[in-house]
Structure 1
Amino acid sequence: MEYDRYQHNKTLFIISIISLVAGLSLLIFSLFILPNLIWHLHYNVPSFIYIWSENLKQHYNFSDIGAHTIVFLIFFLPAILATFIAYLTSNSIENELYGLTTAEENSPRKNTIKNSSKETWLVILQILIFIVLIISGIYTLHWLISVPPPT
């Protein structure tokens, strides 16, 4: 029978759920505004995104790309931080439930967890590299097919 994580540690469970919802919401919103910030597509983006971007350009002398990057990172970095907090609190509850905090360092279970953790980080790194390559390819394609304005 599965353990009830809420009854085991209510505080960590609530923190985990709140940070997961906040992180995913911020991540979805940052990905929602990303095409507007990169390609200047006009769709139903909240007006404060434009105001922040223009404010950064006027008051702090940011370039267009710099201002858009800052606005994107305002939402993206807290999303990553919140999801990481959710990950840590969830793992803390799991470790308490299954007794992994009292295990010996040289046990086969601990080595399996280390190997699994290494594989997980390797997959995450591969996904991030893949995302960077896709974005670089999109920028390169956009640069190749763009026609400079006549002078």
Structure 2
Amino acid sequence: MNDLMVMTEIAGCRCGLPASDVASVIDLGAITPVPSSPDFIAGITALRSQALTVIDCRKALGLDPKPFETDSRAAVVTIASHSYALIVDKIEDISTTQSEPTEVTGGFGPEWTRIATGMIETAIGPALMLDLPSLIAGPEKFGEAA
């Protein structure tokens, strides 16, 4: 397979984002809150005069926020012509896949089942592959309330 993946960590799980979907990794600057936005939207920030919606990935999964400081960097992705900065606990590295995606077996919980498209082996270990539109849509409870 040998696809490049941006390896991240969210809530103790190693996650792979296809490098082709990640425009850049940025140092996250000031985040401006957006009134009346869902809790998983941390606010907006700017990258070279472009507005980015900042998504807290833990909250987007419906998990508790991290009790301590996260990585100051964020992965920038574009979905349906809109750019997002994804706050993750840690951006680890770039790695290559060493297997085709396999079914995600139990033990991760319903939060992960909603957004994980498969499990892959990489040069630095196993990782969940994520469906970025599902992650950006926010927690299931938000989707039901909308």
TM-score (norm: length of structure 2): 0.26
Q: 1 or 2, which has the higher strand percentage? A: 2
Q: 1 or 2, which has the higher helix percentage? A: 1
Larger relative contact order, structure 1 or 2 (CA cutoff 8 Å, min sep 6): 1
TM-score (norm: length of structure 1): 0.25
